[in-house]
Amino acid sequence: MVAVKEERSLEEGLLKLKNQNDASGCRITACVILSTFVAICGSFSFGVSVGYTSGAEVGMIKDMGLSIAEFSAFGSFSTLGATFGALFSGKMAIMLGRKGTMWVSDILCITGWLCIAFAKDVLWLNIGRFSSGIGLGLISYVVPVYIAEITPKHVRGTFTFSNQLLQNCGLAMVYFCGNFINWRMMALLGALPCFIQGIGLFFVPESPRWLAKASTDKELENSLLRLRGRDADISSEASEIQVMTKMLESDSKSSFSDLLQRKYRHTLVVGIGLMLIQQFSGSTAVLCYANTIFRKAGFSVAIGSTLLGIFVVPKAMIGLILVDKWGRRPLLLASASGMCLFCMFIGLAFTLQQKMQLLLELTPVFTFICVTLYIASYAIGVGGLPWVIMSEVFPMNIKVTAGSIVTLASWSSSSVVTYAFNFLFEWSTQGTFYIFGAVGGAALVFIWFLVPETKGLSLEEIQLSLIREPDEINHT
């Protein structure tokens, strides 16, 4: 009974601080911009890794004498490594801090890219791919979490979505440069952003929310002053963070058993569900093997990859601009609708071309247009927003365990899709995309009924509303 009263009083204190905090913490300082830029440098390497197999396929198979099975295994080793990294991402982020975890990921990614660039046989290719994959597993968790924890709430979605923008920049580099740059040189370019991030981390502050849990109040305040400006009044924001941290620590410690509590089930289902939608709707397969799809459709690989390289960054800007204007739910619904529709159209194009021998001159162009629009639909919502929402909805006391499980779900499902795609594509080109389209249709139902809107709310407000909801239902 005493614990319940204490929790209620802490909640009331948090709500009182809301109005005070609305007036402060709204400045976008140079430190916030620099910290975000440093964090998303790793996302560029992420994008290079995702698209690397598409740009390197022909040259690598020719130079190294790889079979289709060996190249498919090489492609899936990245997601397999990321799955392994995801297992430790949450614990590492809480033990070493957000910055410490990014440093570890940089070391792993640089090592992996250098192994690929100087590989003499398939063993070193796979070791390098696995090592960089572990780093990607850490990056995919810690970068959106770090950005969400340092940015003001009115621009948090935009800044966190910039993670997706830099991933697309990495993709664009591979698609565009893969036509005239050797696959070994592309591997070296993939390592460059990790060097930049490793140096830049010396000049940016640690997450204030991690400091509230792991360090002193003084360090928390110093971090906020750097992020909000030396003349800013950070007292209300610091108090809000401390109150929420205290409430969650009095509630429980981070462990797997906490996730089984009724009040956390909704957030866990949303986090895992969005990651499964992201992968089983075919996004990783299309991004990794875009050139294979163009080749199968009879469209010029050189023209297709070059146009994708030009197009891939501007279309990511759409989501960046709209995420804090439209909100998360509308963008996710629009994104899933587009992915479902264009997958069905791609399946129809291959049906007309291969089964019915109709419109043979038009279907290659139609396939390219649909693939491009599919990637555009993915980029404005399903590509980045699951990571944004994951970084927002989990309270600090379960963020380690829940974040690791969600990241693990993403990378393990990505590993399955990446490895299986070439075999599915040989089995039935049109059937593969009909399956992806069906998943997109199911995603619409999931998002409509289960995914909450988090636009314009502080992390503490989001988490408080989600964990109170089941209790209120129980009392009624």
Across 414-476, the runs of DSSP E, i.e. the strands, are none
For the domain bounded by 252-467, which CATH number is listed?
1.20.1250.20
Nearest to 321 by CA among 455, 189, 113, 159: 159
pLDDT of 5: 45
| Residues contacting 116, CB < 8 A, separation 6+ | 124, 125, 128, 129, 132, 184, 187
The residue ranges of every structural domain in the chain are: 27-203, 252-467
DSSP letter at 152 equals -
pLDDT of 26: 61
pLDDT of 231: 83
Across 181-322, the runs of DSSP E, i.e. the strands, are none
Nearest to 375 by CA among 281, 302, 276: 281
Of the ranges 93-107, 142-156, 389-403, 438-452, which one carries the lowest mean pLDDT score? 389-403
Q: Quick one: pLDDT band at residue 256, thresholds 50, 70, 90?
A: low
Sign, Cα dihedral of 379, 374, 132, 314: negative
DSSP letter at 216 equals -
Q: What is the pLDDT of residues 278-336, one digit of tens each?
A: 999 988 888 888 888 988 888 888 888 888 878 877 777 777 777 777 888 999 999 99
Find out whether 195 and 75 touch, Cβ atoms under 8 Å.
no
Q: What is the pLDDT of residues 447-457, one digit of tens each?
A: 999 888 887 77
- Please give the CATH architecture assigned to the domain spanning 27-203: Up-down Bundle (1.20)
Sign, Cα dihedral of 305, 372, 138, 237: positive
- Say how many C-beta atoms besides its own lie within 10 A of residue 196's C-beta: 16
Q: Quick one: pLDDT band at residue 1, thresholds 50, 70, 90?
A: very low
Tokens 């190249």 belong to 71
Query: H-helix or E-strand containing 411?
Result: helix 396-427
pLDDT of 22: 47
Query: H-helix or E-strand containing 33?
Result: helix 30-64
DSSP letter at 351 equals I
Find out whether 43 and 143 touch, Cβ atoms under 8 Å.
yes
Residue 20 tokens, joined: 């005070």
Q: What is the pLDDT of residues 131-185, one digit of tens each?
A: 999 999 898 889 988 998 888 877 887 887 788 788 888 888 888 887 788 899 9
Tokens 């390219």 belong to 368
Q: What is the pLDDT of residues 46-95, one digit of tens each?
A: 889 888 887 787 888 888 888 878 887 888 888 889 888 888 888 888 88
The answer to whether the 27-203 and 252-467 domains have the same CATH topology is: yes
Residue 444 tokens, joined: 């619409």
Nearest to 194 by CA among 126, 288, 104, 125: 104
